[in-house]
Amino acid sequence: MGTIYDALDEKRNVLFEGATGTGKTLSALAPALEYARETNKTVVITTNVHQQMRQFVREAAAITDQEPIRAVVFQGKASMCHIDVGYEECQALRDTTRELVDAEENREELEDQQRALLEESQDGSAEAADARGAVMDELESVEEEIEQLREERNVCDHYYRNLTADTDAFYGWLYDDVRTPEDVYGYAEREGMCGYELLKEGMEGVDLVVCNYHHLLDSMIREQFFRWLGRDPEDVIAVFDEAHNVEDAARDHARRTLTETTLDQAVDELETAEDARAEGALNVLDTFRRALVDAYDEALGFGEREGVEEDWYDLSIDNEDARDELTLAFLQNYSGPGFREELDRTLDLARELDQSYEEAYKNGETTTRQECQTLQAATFVEAWLDESAAEGQYPVVSVRRAEDGGPREAGDIYGRAELYTCIPSQVTADLFGDLHAGVLMSATLRPFDVTEDVLGLDDPETLAYGPQFPEERRRTYAVDGPALFASKRDDMQVQSTVAGALEDAARFTPGNTLAFFPSYAEAERYHQRVDTGGATYLDRPGTSARELRERFTDDDDAVLFTSLWGTLAEGVSFDGDDARTVVVVGVPYPHLDDRMDAVQEAYDAEFGEDEGAGRGGSGSSGGRDDDEGAGWRYAVEIPTVRKTRQALGRVVRSPEDFGARILLDGRYTERSEVEMSDYSVRGTFPPEERREMVDIDPGKLKFALLNFYQDVDGYDGEPPRP
């Protein structure tokens, strides 16, 4: 806490790694809140994991029990709107509702004036009588305005209550404790108010805000968010939890897309626009639409079109020595006075169309606020032509098959253009440069130098604390079995060895066992093959993780099969009897596609092709030889090992807890560092975690587990027989 406080005083960012369950949140929040109170700043704590949001609320409530603070838990409008309208509609409704309230306030002032003038005129003042006549004329005009606003224009009754009712009781209730968005929504619903707008109005000058990543990572939302706080960026201290996820989250928030459907709608919109600029706008956008179709038609190989399903499917359009295929198709197909000039005029026209849609909605001419598809399309096309060849940007074209009920004929193939940002620092460097300081914390943030590079941090303070609970109450086994390369996964002997180790792990665990695999397909394979003698649960994409977890933890001798890249590998606690043993099967590298190749190439270019093997204390055994460079290490190996470490942290979550963590793949063993150094990943783990790894033969795993769980008195009755 002292180190974090001093770093904040020096306006330095902090990289803070602490093992699961050891109090990172309070360790960061306490000094941040203390420093913020002394210097009149606001602390924002943020995560992208829902369970962590609930944990933050509990931590903030615990703090307020000891030291009162004003805290707000903020969510986006979509989850808090009482009438379910989009952002643009909401903005128009707010403007009209505000106009109505202003007019009503003006009417009250005029009525007060005319009553006062009436009294004066009754006392014989002719001047007052003349003045009252003028006020009555103005009052009549305001009455007509109010009637028109109420009858002919769209207003929000919930927001109207915010503006006209006494909200002191709400804010007294809000600051009396730490209220969740669900609490605020319920209170506002009972009172007929808008909880989202009440929260926005109540954020100015608070001590602590709990929110999602997008409030800080999205530059446009961030600007509004700070305005609601009443703070400049330099007056904000941001605490990022699960900060190993910031890299991917930054990419997600930076990526921009444009579908063929939006282009179609923009063309339709322009064909009905009565404006001389519409012809040129059509020329630009329809040319881009046709270029998109040409690009994906050309990229789809023989028989590939038939395999396209309802999920977006990436196609390679990148070129090493020229612009991407979509840009080339656009430039080849375009004919006109100049696409830059026509694009500028298109944007001017689109902004005017968008403004007209807003006025029509506010004036009650339409029941919904129409979106300007031309504005969306032209804005993207401008960005594509300017940025698709820029360093760190990867242009992508994807296709999917239309479903029933959509704007396209079911079964049709249609496309999407996307600008994908490979280097997160293009998003995060400005953020961390503008803030007073940030604290980035996670159980898996090392190697710090890689995090520093990828996020664009300048000389951060670094803190690392390994497992703090009694070492004798945990074991980490590196099972010296086969290396589960993708080419080996169908080998029946390999499957038999893995299945046997899983069965031994489940049988000799006094309680539940978690099994993580490189994919859902591998989880399903072993769910079908492994016979544990107890209940088994299979996680599938799209299933409710919360419901599955509850059913699993209600059992006492079960195995849960899931993907390491699913939602149960981090941010979810399995305390005590909920799970005793966790097994990570294989080295769960992500799917390596063209997009990931682009990230690797961008990292190689940004951070140096020869740095990869020696950075962060990993050594040449990091997972690939020196030729792979920084790209492989930064983009693939380190994120994979972080995910593995996150999965291992699902068990042993308190000093009284106990459990075993099993790494089921030869690449985790000490032997692999010598005999298969190009593929070993042991060296990517922090030193103190490597020291705890016990290499063991698959056939001896059951004896090791039996001895460990007997040592910690884990078995309630007689232990199982080997």
CB 539 within 8 A of CB 526: no
Q: How far is CA 675 from the centre of its chain?
A: 40
The amino acid sitting at 699 is: G
Reference 358, options 370, 345, 376, 374; nearest CA is 370
Query: d(Cα 654, Cα 470) in Å, to the nearest integer?
Result: 9
Residue 170 pairs in a beta bridge with none
CB 203 within 8 A of CB 229: yes
The amino acid sitting at 248 is: D
pLDDT score at 681: 96
CB 210 within 8 A of CB 175: no
pLDDT score at 644: 96
CB 32 within 8 A of CB 43: yes
pLDDT score at 609: 52
Reference 504, options 645, 698, 374; nearest CA is 698
Q: Is the dihedral of CA 266, 268, 272, 278 positive or negative?
A: positive
To the nearest 10°, report the CA torsion of 148, 154, 159, 163: -20
pLDDT score at 637: 95
Is residue 261 classed exposed, middle or buried when 0-12, 13-18 and 19+ CB atoms within 10 A define those classes? Answer: middle
CB 45 within 8 A of CB 52: no
Structure tokens at 78: 């979509």
Strand runs (DSSP E) across 635-707, as ranges? 659-664, 693-696
Residue 537 pairs in a beta bridge with 560
Element (H, E) at 567: none
Query: d(Cα 402, Cα 411) in Å, to the nearest integer?
Result: 5
Read off the DSSP letter of residue 721.
P
- For the beta carbon of residue 223, count every other beta carbon within 10 angstroms: 10
| Residue 508, phi then psi, degrees to nearest 5 | -100, 10
Averaged over successive runs of 10 residues, the pLDDT of the chain (722 residues) comes to 98 94 87 96 88 78 86 88 86 90 92 91 88 91 88 89 95 92 94 94 92 92 93 97 94 94 96 95 97 96 91 91 92 93 96 93 84 96 94 94 83 95 94 97 95 96 91 96 92 96 97 96 96 93 88 95 90 88 95 91 82 36 50 94 94 92 97 92 95 96 97 92 87
pLDDT score at 628: 58
Tell which phi-psi region holds residue 205, choosing left (phi > 0), alpha (psi between -120 and 50) or beta: left
Element (H, E) at 53: helix 50-66
Query: d(Cα 595, Cα 422) in Å, to the nearest integer?
Result: 8
Structure tokens at 287: 């040319």
Reference 693, options 666, 675, 711; nearest CA is 666
CB within 8 Å of 131: residues ≥ 6 apart: 117
Query: d(Cα 378, Cα 350) in Å, to the nearest integer?
Result: 8
